[in-house]
């Protein structure tokens, strides 16, 4: 099967084009570097099957970040190259196109965002450009689908450029300049609403208050809509419909015994219990679907909205100074926000940071003090019933830890912390269908991973109880848990399960009958002591064994110290 | 390159981009070789002869937001010191 490589600068709509060509659900974003992992898909064109590979956006083939290294490696193995160009910024895109044409692979140049050139008063002489580049040039609008058929038809006829020969960097820039003079004309245009919005959101006097307002609104939306989904949709479903049905069904063939306990735990028809029964079909499904999913949906909807609008790079500019104090720069806001959803994509997104030092700091800070949405949803559910105060204590502690550890790591980690250099793309009107599609694909990804792991976790808990292992472990760890941390000895089971998944680990704290003070300490320890297994594997791959050992040591040390400190503050000695 | 310093000797009468105030414009005379690298600046459109407008500067020695031919670029203040412009 022939490979088609999709290459282009960040933010040219490559991922949308990819999904147009393959029909696969993929994510496209208005932020340089969100597509850090390669996306692969297959497509059939004129009876022939091709593999399509979407490469992370890059400005040139000279690798300066990890994402660009990946791009270069992938390019060498491809058969046909599609060079995706932002038609509204032809000049800054053509440098990469020339570099690609110099590789002498069969290439097609795609001028994406073609529809926008008209609004912007840009006129491009396509025939002339085609002649100068010596390959086919296809104008497209990936979002609306224009030009996709023409592109598909062109792929079979792709040829290496006859006019572009390898040249030096200096010559390449001269060539770009000449191409622009020969093929592009720009007319005057008026300032739009989006231009004015772009301006007031980066001016500090207006931008900083607007950023605070935006973040507050986003949080409010995530929490309020998430709670409404639980109250009006999910709880009525679980308690009214699903619960009685499933309990009757299980009772009909396993009225008691081990199987009964594993499937529905302590739930009865009169009192269906989804939170504490620890059955696979009760707690095992209620935690991911009934407690976490609503917030996953609202979180990813808002994140997609901010991404597609193009707000994140502006936020990066506004928070840059603060992040410098932690050895990072403004771009670190992106992995941090992604980490609030799930630490796995968060850790991958640290690739947009330039140096090992920045990546180490960003990932370590995230693993310690950025709880993922699954964890947050459970913290809210469990501590919320005792009042907002306890939730605030957990998040304030995590925030202070973030700053404190960042300030220290900046000084002790060797390496460089370069400054921010980032393209700020224009605002674009988000498309509701794309937003819903993205939200769904994230929610699906969450369910596909969470449900099996939560069920596995509950199975393990049940078996550990049945075989008396919990008791044995409780006795073993009792001195540490009760004397040092002030928690019941049964909490050891949560610490063990937390390695698998944090949401279910917090969930099994409930049946232990802890005080709000104890729950708060336990939530802080669970958030900080170790990343879940999925995050651990990704961090290990990204950081390497040595750096990961350091990070892990730091997590255990910090978690334990903070646990003891919070115990002394909240519970007393 | 003989001079890996802040900017090239060729910049007669030029000032570092970092000295421009919001709203001011300059034509790039030279791009420095220091941190960040000349290549990266050029690829992002910051090249000799280009006209840049400072759109905003962030407080506490924060980054600059520039307009270069319709595209906006955020750049750290230290990096902006490595770009020499002729004030317009």
Chain B interface disruption, residue of A421, A424, A428, most B CBs within 10 A: A421
Position A544 in a domain? yes
A303 Cβ contact list (under 8 Å, min separation 6): A337, A338, A341
- What confidence tier does A38 reach under pLDDT thresholds 50, 70, 90? low
Residue count of chain B, please give it. Answer: 88
Chain mean pLDDT for chain A? 89
Q: List A41's β-bridge partners, or say none.
A: A52
DSSP H or E run through A49:
strand A48-54
pLDDT digits (tens, 9 = 90+) for A273-322: 898 888 999 999 999 999 999 999 999 999 999 988 999 999 999 999 99
Instruction: Please list, residue by residue across A298-311, b when 16 or more beta carbons sit within 10 angstroms of its beta carbon and e when fewer do.
Output: bbbbbbbbbbbbbb
* CB A535, CB A343: distance < 8 Å: yes
Rg of chain B over all Cα atoms, to the nearest angstrom: 12
B51 and chain A in contact, CB less than 8 A? no
Full residue range of the structural domain in which residue A302 is found: 282-570
Average pLDDT (A32-46) is: 65
Position A162 in a domain? yes
Distance from CA of A411 to the nearest CA of B (A): 19
Q: Looking at the partner chain, which of A59, A89, A421 has a beta carbon nearest the beta carbon of B75? A: A421
B21 and chain A in contact, CB less than 8 A? no
- State percent of chain A over pLDDT 90: 58
Task: Quote the pLDDT of residue A290.
Answer: 93
Instruction: Please list, residue by residue across A258-293, b when 16 or more beta carbons sit within 10 angstroms of its beta carbon and e when fewer do.
Output: eebbbbbbebeeeebbbbbbbbbbbbbbbbbbbbbb
Q: Which two tokens stand for residue B42?
A: 């050029």
Position A226 in a domain? no
Q: List A5's β-bridge partners, or say none.
A: A53, A81
Task: Quote the pLDDT of residue A409.
Answer: 96
Residue of A nearest to B45 (CA): A92
Residue of B nearest to A314 (CA): B74
Distance from CA of A235 to the nearest CA of B (A): 47
**A2-8 vs A80-86, strand pairing mode:** parallel
CATH of the domain at B50: 2.30.30.90
Taking contacts as CB-CB distances below 8 angstroms, the residues of chain A near B32 are none
Position A191 in a domain? no
Task: Quote the pLDDT of residue A37.
Answer: 60
Position B3 in a domain? no
- What confidence tier does B69 reach under pLDDT thresholds 50, 70, 90? confident
| Total structural domains within chain B | 1
Position A445 in a domain? yes
Q: Does one domain contain both A426 and A301?
A: yes
B72 and chain A in contact, CB less than 8 A? yes
Full residue range of the structural domain in which residue B34 is found: 15-87
B79 and chain A in contact, CB less than 8 A? yes
Report d(CA A536, CA A366) in Å as an integer: 12
Q: N- to C-terminal Cα distance for chain B? A: 28
**A2-8 vs A48-54, strand pairing mode:** parallel
CB–CB of A204 and B62 under 8 A? Answer: yes
Position A251 in a domain? no
CA dist A342 → A29, A373, A402, A503, A535 (Å): 17, 6, 17, 12, 9
Report d(CA A349, CA A332) in Å as an integer: 9
Position B30 in a domain? yes
B43 and chain A in contact, CB less than 8 A? yes
* pTM for the structure as a whole: 0.83
SS3 label, residue A110: strand
Q: Does one domain contain both A177 and A286?
A: no
A149 Cβ contact list (under 8 Å, min separation 6): none
DSSP H or E run through A315:
helix A312-324
Q: Does one domain contain both A312 and A173?
A: no
Q: Examine the pLDDT at A67 and tell me if it is beyond 80.
A: no
pLDDT digits (tens, 9 = 90+) for A504-526: 999 989 888 899 999 999 999 99
> How many interchain CB pairs under 8 A, A with B?
102
Q: Looking at the partner chain, which of A60, A416, A420 has a beta carbon nearest the beta carbon of B63? A: A420
Position B8 in a domain? no
Distance from CA of B13 to the nearest CA of A (A): 25
B69 and chain A in contact, CB less than 8 A? yes
- The secondary structure of B16-47, three-state, reads EHHHCCCCCEEEEEEECCCCCCHHHHHHCCCC
Q: Does one domain contain both A287 and A182?
A: no
Distance from CA of B2 to the nearest CA of A (A): 17
B70 and chain A in contact, CB less than 8 A? yes
Q: Which two tokens stand for residue A211?
A: 């950023």
CB–CB of B62 and A321 under 8 A? Answer: yes
A150 Cβ contact list (under 8 Å, min separation 6): A138, A140
Q: Does one domain contain both A38 and A174?
A: yes
pLDDT digits (tens, 9 = 90+) for A337-374: 999 999 988 998 898 888 999 999 999 999 999 999 99
Taking contacts as CB-CB distances below 8 angstroms, the residues of chain B near A421 are 36, 40-41, 44, 73-76, 79
B5 and chain A in contact, CB less than 8 A? no
**Is the predicted ipTM greater than 0.95, yes or no?**
no
**HSE on the CB side for B74, CA within 13 Å?**
29
| Total structural domains within chain A | 2
pLDDT digits (tens, 9 = 90+) for A68-118: 777 777 888 889 999 999 998 898 899 999 999 999 999 999 999 998 888
Task: Quote the pLDDT of residue A254.
Answer: 87
């Amino acid at each position: 099967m022939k490979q088609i490589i999709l290459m282009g600068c960040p933010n040219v709509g490559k991922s949308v084009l990819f999904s147009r060509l393959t029909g696969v659900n993929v994510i496209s974003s208005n932020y340089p570097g969100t597509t850090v992992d390669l996306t692969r898909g297959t497509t059939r064109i004129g009876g022939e099957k091709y593999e399509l590979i979407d490469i992370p956006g890059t400005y040139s083939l000279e690798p300066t970040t990890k994402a660009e290294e990946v791009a270069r490696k992938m390019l060498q193995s491809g058969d046909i190259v599609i060079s995706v160009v932002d038609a509204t910024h032809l000049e800054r895109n053509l440098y990469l196109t020339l570099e690609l044409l110099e590789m002498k692979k069969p290439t097609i140049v795609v001028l994406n965002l073609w529809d926008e050139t008209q609004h912007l008063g840009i006129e491009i002489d396509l025939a002339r450009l085609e002649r100068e580049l010596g390959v086919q040039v296809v104008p497209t609008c990936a979002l609306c689908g224009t030009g996709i058929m023409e592109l598909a038809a062109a792929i079979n006829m792709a040829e290496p450029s006859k006019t572009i020969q390898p040249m030096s960097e200096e010559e390449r820039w001269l060539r770009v300049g000449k191409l622009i003079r020969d093929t592009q004309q720009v007319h005057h245009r008026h300032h739009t609403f989006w231009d004015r919005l772009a301006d007031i959101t980066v001016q500090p006097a207006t931008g900083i208050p607007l950023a605070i307002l935006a973040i507050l609104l986003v949080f409010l939306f995530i929490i309020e809509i998430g709670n409404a989904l639980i109250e009006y949709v999910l709880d009525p479903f679980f308690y009214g419909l699903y619960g009685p049905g499933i309990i009757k069904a299980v009772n009909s063939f396993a009225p008691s015994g081990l199987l009964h306990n594993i499937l529905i735990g302590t739930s009865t028809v009169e009192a269906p219990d989804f939170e504490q029964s620890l059955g696979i079909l009760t707690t095992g499904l209620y935690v991911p679907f009934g407690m976490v999913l609503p917030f996953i949906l609202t979180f990813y909807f808002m994140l997609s909205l901010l991404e597609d609008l193009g707000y994140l790079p502006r936020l990066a500019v506004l928070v840059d100074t603060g992040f410098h104090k932690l050895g990072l720069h403004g771009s670190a806001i992106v992995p941090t926000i992604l980490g609030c959803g799930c630490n796995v994509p968060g850790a991958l997104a640290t690739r947009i940071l330039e140096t090992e030092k920045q990546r180490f700091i960003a990932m370590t800070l995230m693993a310690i003090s950025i709880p993922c949405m699954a964890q947050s949803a459970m913290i809210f559910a469990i501590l919320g019933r005792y009042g907002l105060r306890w939730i605030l204590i957990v998040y304030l502690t995590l925030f202070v830890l973030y700053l404190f550890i960042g300030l220290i790591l900046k000084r002790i980690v060797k390496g460089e912390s370069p400054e921010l250099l980032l393209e700020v793309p224009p605002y674009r009107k988000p498309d509701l269908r794309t937003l819903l599609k993205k939200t769904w694909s994230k929610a699906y990804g969450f369910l596909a991973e969470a449900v099996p792991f939560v069920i596995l976790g509950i199975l393990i808990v049940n078996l550990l109880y049945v075989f008396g292992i919990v008791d044995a472990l409780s006795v073993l760890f009792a001195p540490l848990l009760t004397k040092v941390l002030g928690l019941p000895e049964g909490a050891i089971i949560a610490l063990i399960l937390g390695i698998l998944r944090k949401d279910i680990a917090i969930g099994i704290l409930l049946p232990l009958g802890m005080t709000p003070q104890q729950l708060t300490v336990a939530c802080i320890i669970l958030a900080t002591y170790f990343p879940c297994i999925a995050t651990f594997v990704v961090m290990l791959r990204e950081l390497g064994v040595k750096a990961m050992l350091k990070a892990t040591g730091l997590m255990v040390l910090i978690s334990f110290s903070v646990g003891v400190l919070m115990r002394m503050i909240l519970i007393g000695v | 390159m003989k001079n890996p310093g802040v900017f090239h000797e060729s910049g007669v009468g030029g000032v570092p981009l970092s000295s421009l105030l919001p709203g001011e414009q300059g034509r790039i005379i030279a791009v420095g070789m220091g941190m960040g690298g000349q290549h990266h600046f050029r690829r992002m459109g910051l090249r000799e002869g280009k006209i840049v407008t400072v759109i905003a500067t962030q407080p506490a020695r924060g980054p600059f937001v520039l307009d270069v031919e319709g595209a906006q670029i955020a750049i750290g203040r230290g990096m902006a010191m490595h770009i020499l412009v002729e004030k317009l």
